[in-house]
Structure 1
Amino acid sequence: MNEKKTKKTGRNPKPDTKTHCVMVRFDSCEWNRFLSMYEKSGVYARAVFLKEHFFGRAFKVLTVDKTLVDYYTKLSDFHAQFRAIGTNYNQVVKELRCHYSEKKAMALLFKLENYTVELVKLSHRIVELSRELEEKWSQKSV
């Protein structure tokens, strides 16, 4: 009658319970360095991060370069504006031919052509800068 009855309720016991605790103290400089490493790791708990780091297990570090994100955002905006200029180009030429004499329209078209050439040069320079940035980024990630 003194036998213990096994209960069927409650949580199932863990097969390998964690029973040993280690305490670590950091000074302010070490703590800030630890926090920055922990945040970069993307691990959900500081204790898990410490264990993985201590036992040499691999963990991922995700970094986001804000300047790179801003650059690509502005580049996308510029490209959208560049396409808008291209679609409006034909409309401008039609309006010049309708509202001005042939001589005046040709003079204005010459100016428009010069500005277009400058815009194309600028576009090529932006593509070069983007390639340089991509090369630097790919070297950095290796």
Structure 2
Amino acid sequence: MNQNNNNKQNKGGRTPKNDPSIHRHVFRLTDEENAKLLSLFEASGMPNKAKFIISLLFNREMKSIKIDKGTVDFYMRLTSFHSQFRSVGVNYNQIVKLLYRHFSEKKAAAFLYKLEKQTAEMAVLCQNIIQITEDFKVKHMKKQP
């Protein structure tokens, strides 16, 4: 009765896997082959080198992500610029309302004329920015098949 009781006790620890990886294979690489394997491994972004090699052997789909820091930086600055541009538009509307509220119509029209000149310059600048962005897309952002 003592032996039956000992067999039923929980010994703790990790539960065993249904299909454990017990087969081991060893292979050797030259320095050049090893460097190529490591660069492929780093480009894949996989956390485990063994799983990476298995996916290569059995032709599983492998993802390789390359991040161009220049493109990311350009995108972040363009996004920041866009938000600043939107805030200029909001301020523009507020200024027009304040001009007509606090000044005579003649004086407000004079200030508004100056504001229109600045707006025209800003529109030209925006067109230049759009052209630069299009050129950047064509030259530096290659579409992957």
TM range (shorter): 0.5 to 0.7
The one of 35, 38, 43 equivalent to 2:41 is: 38
Q: In the alignment, which residue of structure 1 is the partner of 2:28?
A: 24
C-alpha spacing 1:26/1:81, structure 2 compared with 1 (3 Å): same
Q: Distance in 1 between matches of 2:126 and 2:65?
A: 32
Q: Which amino acid aligns with 2:38?
A: L
Q: Percent identity?
A: 35
Q: Which moved more, 1:93-102 or 1:106-115?
A: 93-102
Q: Give the corresponding residue for 2:80.
A: 77
Shift of 1:37: 1.5
Looking at both structures, which has the greater relative contact order when contacts are Cα pairs under 8 Å and sequence separation is at least 6?
2
2:68 aligns to what? 65
Amino acid of the structure 2 residue aligned with 1:22: V
Q: TM-score, normalised by structure 1?
A: 0.67
Judged with a 3 Å threshold, the aligned counterparts in structure 2 of structure 1 residues 114 and 22 are, in CA distance, closer, same or farther, namely: same
* Alignment partner, residue 3 of structure 1: none
TM-score scaled by structure 2? 0.66
The number of residues matched between the two structures is 133
- Distance, in Å, in 2 between the alignment partners of 1:13 and 1:85 is 63
Q: 1:116 to 1:23 in 2, by over 3 A?
A: same
Structure 1 pair 138/71, CA: closer, same or farther in 2 (3 Å)? closer
